[in-house]
């Protein structure tokens, strides 16, 4: 209760805007369809946008407990994936190592991985854990890039 909650504007930017984006079938990262149907491009597009607009870079142990207003100072097109990974890096790493879990499922949903492909998606990430989380100081940006590399190689 003692937490001072961030100003509405920041949170609502996510509430509304990213929701709008996510509901557009061609906006956001359609990684799932790309990988499993052999189409290319979407991921790198989104990641390109991401890297151009990196606002902050998160590593383990920073993702929790540092939620504050200064961070949400802008909106990039896949802000939602970017932000989710940045703010839940530790939990996502845990779920990837385990090959299942709510954070991994959410991540898959954000990338629009279909239900049919989810199993393959999860085990692929689990099997390549060391390639994705390369060191203890890996940042969420590197993680996203590594995931892209892993998903591309089949």
Partner 1 sequence: MKLFSGRYGFPAGTVSLVLLCAAVFFSIYIIAVPIYAEDAINDAGYVETLLRDAEKKELHRDRYWHTLLHYKEAIGGVKSLVDDPKFFLSEKGRIDPQEELRATIRAFFTPKVEGERHPTCRFVARYNWLKERLGIDPARIPAGECAEIFQMVETLRPSSVILSFPTSHINSPASMFGHTLLTIETGNRSRLLAHAVNYSAITTDTFGPLYTVRGIFGFYHGYFSILPYYAKIQEYGDFDHRDIWEYRLNFNADEMRRMLYHIYELDNIFSYYYFFDENCSYSLLFLLDAARPGLALSDEFYSRFFTWVIPIDTIRGVERGSLIDSVVYRPSRVTTIRHIASRLSAENQRLALAIAAREKSTDDILKQQISTQEKILVCDLVSEYVRYQYSKGDITRAEYSDIFIKSLRTRATLGNPDSAAYTIPEPPRPEKGHLPARLAVGGGVRGDEPYQEVRLRPAYHVLLDPDDGFVEGGQIVFTDFAVRFYDREKKFELERWDMIDIISLSPRDRFIRSVSWKVNLGLKRRLLDDGDYHLVGQLNPGTGLAWKCGSFGIFYLFLEGEVDGGGDLDGRYSLGAGGSTGFIGGSARLWKFHLFARDLYSRFGEQGNEMAFALVQRFTIGTNATFVIEARRTRVSEPGGWSPAVVKNEAGGSFNFFF
**Contacts to partner 1 by CB under 8 A:** 1-9, 11-24, 27, 59-62, 64-65, 67, 75, 80, 84, 87-88, 90, 93-94, 96-100, 102-103, 105-106, 109-110, 126-127, 129-130, 133, 135-138
Q: How far is the CB of 38 from partner 1 (least distance, A)?
A: 26
Residue 60 neighbours by CB under 8 Å, 6+ apart:
89, 90, 93, 136, 137, 138
The answer to whether the beta carbons of residues 107 and 92 sit under 8 Å apart is yes
**Given the complex with partner 1, which of 22 and 38 has the nearer CB atom?**
22
Closest contact distance (angstroms) between CB of 65 and partner 1 is 7
Q: Cβ 101 to partner 1, closest distance in Å?
A: 9
74 and 55 Cβ atoms separated by less than 8 Å: yes
Nearest-angstrom CA–CA distance, 32 and 42 = 10
């Amino acid at each position: 209760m003692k937490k001072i909650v961030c100003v509405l504007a920041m949170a609502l930017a996510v509430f509304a805007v990213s929701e709008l984006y996510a509901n557009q079938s061609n906006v956001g990262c359609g990684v799932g369809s790309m990988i499993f149907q052999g189409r290319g491009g979407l991921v790198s597009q989104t990641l390109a946008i991401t890297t151009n607009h990196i606002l902050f870079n998160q590593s383990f142990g920073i993702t929790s407990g540092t939620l504050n207003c200064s961070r949400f100072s802008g909106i990039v097109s896949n802000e939602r994936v970017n932000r989710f990974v940045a703010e839940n890096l530790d939990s996502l790493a845990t779920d990837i190592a385990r090959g299942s879990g709510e954070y991994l499922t959410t991540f898959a949903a954000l990338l629009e991985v279909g239900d049919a492909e989810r199993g393959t998606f999860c085990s692929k990430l689990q099997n390549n854990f060391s390639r994705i989380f390369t060191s203890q100081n890996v940042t969420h940006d590197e993680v996203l890039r590594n995931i892209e590399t892993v998903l591309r190689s089949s």
